[in-house]
Structure 1
Amino acid sequence: MEAISKNFFLYLSNNKVLDRLAKRFGTNFGADKIVGGETISQAMPIIQKLNHEGLHVTVDHLGEFVASEEEARQRTEECMHSIQAIATHGAQSEVSLKLTSLGLDISRDIVIEHMHRILQEAAKYDITVTIDMEDSSRCGQTLDIYKELKAQYPNLGTVVQSYLYRSDQDLDELSPLDPYLRLVKGAYKESGKVAFPEKRLVDDNLKHLIKKNLLNGHYTAIASHDDAIIDFTKQLVQENNIPNDRFEFQMLYGMRNETQAQLAKEGYKVRVYLPYGEDWYGYFMRRLAERPANIAFALRGIFSK
């Protein structure tokens, strides 16, 4: 039943008709519980509140698969606007972005041009930018672009997904760059030809990647709501005397708030992934696909306004 539910919501995440309806009706249907509004101005009070609670943030202007160069330029301007807003308010926040939102499916040259603009703006304020990972068909392109840009922009991170077979080798190839990596399980529907088909194998690989990256001495963001993964990381860093400034836990806005607060209270760095924007629909559906508990969470959001 869980597999059926996951496939159902992943299928819905790609439905263009429902996406258009979602933009029309805004962040209703519980999405406002996990999305920080439609603009950076709406998201900023949430960022400041989270900072006040001892939590760091990364903001993501939602949107992917742009259809024109003009739309890609608009998304680039929005990323730069987010960076400027973070700096103006002195917020403890990074920025996350998807390369498809900057025109990856249109032209690699366009993406590189847009990334240079964003990264130059971020460098002015010493703000880290993380390139989010998308589906497996774009993984190689994303990592190639990351490798090209990382030498020039130290404050650049990216994401490795443990459900992909290739991820262990990707860590080896990234290691010489001293990468800042967010390690996640992965949230896209993938073929068994490229991804582990069982949750147990995905979890085991995530633990392997966490251990490998930390023991290699690279900064590691452990992005998981899974208590087993969190406890594994705690034990690993304790046994290997890894200082707290070499890693952080990351969780989604609106998910496991008590755990976030407890980890921060224990002295761990916790970063909250806060998406905002009109294109929230695909993101929301993927979150529902990840965990059945998220469906109940969303339903509570609808009827508790």
Structure 2
Amino acid sequence: MHQSIKIIFALFISVKLYATDYKPPIIFSKAEFVNTSTTRIPFKVIDQLIVVEVELLNKEGNFIIDTGSETLILNSVHYKASRSYRSNNKQRSGIHNEIEDVEEKYLQKLSLEDFRLENLNADVIDLSHIEKIKKIEVLGIIGFSVLKDFEIFIDMHLNQITLTKTDKNGERLSQKVYAETIHDSIDFKLKKHTIIIDAQIENKQVKFGLDTGAEYNQLNKNIDSEILDYFYPSKELKLTGASGKKLKVMAGKLYRVRLNDSIYFGPMKTVLTNLRQMNSAFGTNLDGILGFEFFAQQRTIINYKKQKLYFIKFPIIKP
């Protein structure tokens, strides 16, 4: 990679577009079904993005797991608009600039083997810039609208995601899901589709968004100067925004981040950037974004309905 990074965020306004009776299936190609409400899906890490193999609309290939995206996104390079759908070109707000030429599809039903998801909007966007930077074919992005009805265990130790179906209160439909023991948990707030957690840098209170699609953490460059003392810059990188436009940012490592007395982090790769547009778009006031670096240090379970994160310890590997 050319020292370019792609931190994927998407803010889309749902507009219903009426489809025909066509019912496209979505299948995680290499999924292992644990029980009728739980599946384990292996993933690849490509330039600090979580990538799974999916079959959708008779195509099979790479989809990025991105909690920072509100919807299921299809790459217009691979999924062309058809007469079966009405579509309008729209502009959507991205984090660093405007995303242009967004088409929408209304999917009546998505089927994940025994799981059924109904009435989902899929946004169709040109993602060719991601493919060019990552040097892989990307069919699309799986976001909040697909993930919200599951408890999601992101396990960087085994490189797999466990999805287990939950009821309206966030309770698992099956209790026999994890062989591991949950050792800690924290609450979070959900702002639209963004997970917001309270944290500390040294002894300063901060608010972070949590996003699986962020390759590097982001720290608001307008943050308190005492907090910036714990950001150690090292080099300049080019960040590719949601529309493919580039922005230079300062990259380094962020120290002394913790969620509570027992959940803390080693130095994390972080970029210093302006979060003004994101905060304006989401109506938030975030001090930063925690992404891949967070999940690399914490085996994390996300429960959207309970608005809780659960943590499982990494095993101690003896030499």
- TM-score, structure 2 as length reference: 0.25
> Which protein has the bigger helix share?
1
Q: TM-score, normalised by structure 1?
A: 0.26
Q: Which has the higher contact order (CA 8 A, sep 6+)?
A: 1
More strand by share: 2
Bigger radius of gyration, 1 or 2?
2
